[in-house]
Structure 1
Amino acid sequence: MSKKITVHENLEENYANKLYIDISNVLNEKRKQAYIAVSQSMLQAYWQIGKIIIEEEQNGELRSEYGKNVLQKLSDKLTAEFGKGFSVRTLQQMKKFYTLFPIANALRSQLTWTHYRSLLKVNNESARNWYIEEAIKGQWSSRQLERQINTLYYERLLGSQSKDGVIAEANANMSKLAPEQFIKDPYVLEFLNLKNYPELRETELEQALIDNLQNFLLELGRGFCFVARQKLMRFDDDDFYLDLVFYHSILKCYVLIDLKIGKLTHQDVGQMDSYIRMFDALQKNEDDNPTLGIILCSEPNETIAKYSVLSDNKQIFTSKYLYNLPTVEELQDYIQSQRRLIEERDCE
C-alpha cells in the first residue's frame, strides 16, 4: 500500500513540476514583454514631448528671454498632474533626446530611457552610435553603459595599441541585468506615476530592521516625526536614497538614517556627510537647525552606531541634543536584538 502511495505522490509531484515550469515560462515571457512595452512607451512619450517643445521654439513661440520661465511653469503643471519626472532639467533632456535622435522609428527597443539619458552626454556622434551597438550586443544595464561612457571606453579603445587589454578591463565585473530589475528604475516608477516603494530597494532583512527601527524611534517620544522612507534625492544625473528621514520637533532639525548590513567603512561616513550636504541644499529650510546623520551598521556579531555631523557643525551636540536623541548604546542594543530576533524567526 505504501508503495502505491509513493508512486502516486511521485506522479503528482512530476505533474506539479511540469505545470510550474510551463506557467513560469509564460509569466517570465509576458513580464519581459510588459517591461519592453513600458520602456518603448516611455521613449516614444519623451521623444514626442521633446519634439513638441522644439517645434514651438522653432516657430518662435518660446522666445529666449522668457523661454526658461515657460519651461519652469510647464514643469510645475506637469508635475502637479502626472507626478515626478518633469523637472526643467528633464524637459531639457527630452529636447536634446529629440534633437540627437530625430527619427522615432530608429529608437532601439533594447535600450531604456535611462540608457538614452547617458547617451545624451556623448557629443561625438560616432562614439554615441558605437556605444549604442555595444550596449545592445553586450546587454549592458544603464549603469554599465554609464560606467563605460564615464571611463571613456570608446576613446581608450580607439587610441590603444593593446585593444584586447582595454576590452578585458572594460568587461570586468560586467553582468547581465535581469529584465525584472528594469521596473525598479526610478524613472520607470515616475513614468507610471507609481510610488517609489521601499520594498523595491530593500532586502528582507533590511526591510524588517528598518520597519522596527522606524517604530522604535517614534515610540521613544523624544520628538521624532516620520518624514520619508527610501527618500529619493536627485542631484544632476545621479539618484541617492536615504533609508529613513525624520524631523525632530524639539531640536528643529532633520535626522537622516542610513542602515548598512555589513562593516562600517570610511566610505560610509563620507557618503553620509555627502547626504547631509545634499539634503541641506535641497530640503532644509532657513530656520531649521543643521541636519543630523545616523549611520547604523549591523553585522552578525557586532553593531555600530555613529552620529555623523559636518565638521563645521560639531558644536550642535550640546546637552539638549544629547538628551533628546537616543544614545549610541541604545541604538546598538536595539538593532542587535532586532537582528537576532529576525534571524531566529526566519530559521523556524
Structure 2
Amino acid sequence: MELKANDGYRQLLATISDTYTQGQTRAAQAVNAQLVETYWQVGRHIVDFEQAGQVRAEYGKALVDTLAADLSLRHGKGFSRSNLIRFRQFYLAYPKGATLSHQLTWSHIVELLKLDDPLERGFYEQQALRERWSVRELVRQKNSQLFLRLAASKDKAGVLQLAQQGQLIEQPTDLLREPYVFEFLKIPEPHQVSETQLETLLCDHLQPFMLELGKGFTFVGRQYRINVGGTHYRVDLVFYHRILRRFVLIDLKLGEVQHHDIGQMNLYLGYFAAEENTEGDQPPVGIILSRQKDELLVEYATYGMNSQLFVQQYQLYLPDREALRAELERVMWEAGQ
C-alpha cells in the first residue's frame, strides 16, 4: 500500500500543515504587534521631547523634518516626515498605550487616525475589531459615513454607546440603517434602473451589499418563491441572521412605498413564521427598501401590526456628510440643554 493512501499518514500531513499555518499566523500577529508598539513608542519619544521643552519654539516646526532626515540616514525607509507625523499622532490619540497593537494592523490604525472626532474614531475602531473588517472594508464604511448614519437617529446616550462599544446587534431594530447606501454599484447619475436590474446588481455585488447590511447576515435566496392559497409570490431577497436567529426578508422599491407593499410584506412575514421557521427560530423581520417614503403613510399602514416590519430608505450615492454631521451635532446639543 502506498504511504499516501495510509489514513495515519494523511492525518499526519494535515496536522503538520495546520500547525505550520497557525504558526505563520501567530508570527505575523506578533510582528504586527511589535511594529505597532514600536511606532507608538517613537511617537511618545517625540511628544516627550517637545513637552520637556528641549527644543526652542522657533525650531519646533523643524523637529520632525530633521528627525526624518537623520533617521532615514541611519535606518533607511520607514522614517519619512509623513510617517513620523503619524507616529506622533498615534501616541496623542492613544496616550495610555498602543491598545490596538495585537488586534489591528498599522494600515487599520492609519485609517482611524484620519478621523479627528474621537467619537467617530472610537466607533470605527470597535466595529473593525468586532466585525474583523479588512482595511478595504474599513475605508468603505468610513466613506459611506456609517457612524453618522447610525448616530444621527439616536439620542446622546446611544451615540456614546456607539462610540464606546460599536453597533451591538441585540434586537431587530439594531439591524436598521438610514439610509442604506449602494454607492458600490457605481450606477452613474442620472441613469435609471428597474427593480429587477437593481436586484441583479446587488446580487452581483453580494459581498459589499452584505457589508452594508451589517454583521450576521447569511444569504438564502433571490426571488424566493412561496405559495399561499394556490397563489405564487416571490420575495426579492431572503437572508438569515445568525445572531438574531431569524429570517430577514427584503423587498426593493424604486419609488415611494405604497400601503399595498406593506400589506404584501406582512403576508410574507406570516408565511415565513408559519411555514419556514424551525425550532429555535425567532419571528422573521421584513425590510422594505425604498428610494422615498411617506412617514405618515407608513405609520398608518403598519398600525396595529405586531410583526417586525420596517420601511427604510436607500440611495445609490454617498450621503451628504455635512448634513449628517449637522444632524448629529443637533442631537448632542439638544441633549446638553
TM-score (norm 1): 0.44
Which has the bigger relative contact order, CA under 8 A and spacing at least 6?
A: 2
TM-score (norm 2): 0.45
Select the structure that is richer in helix: 1
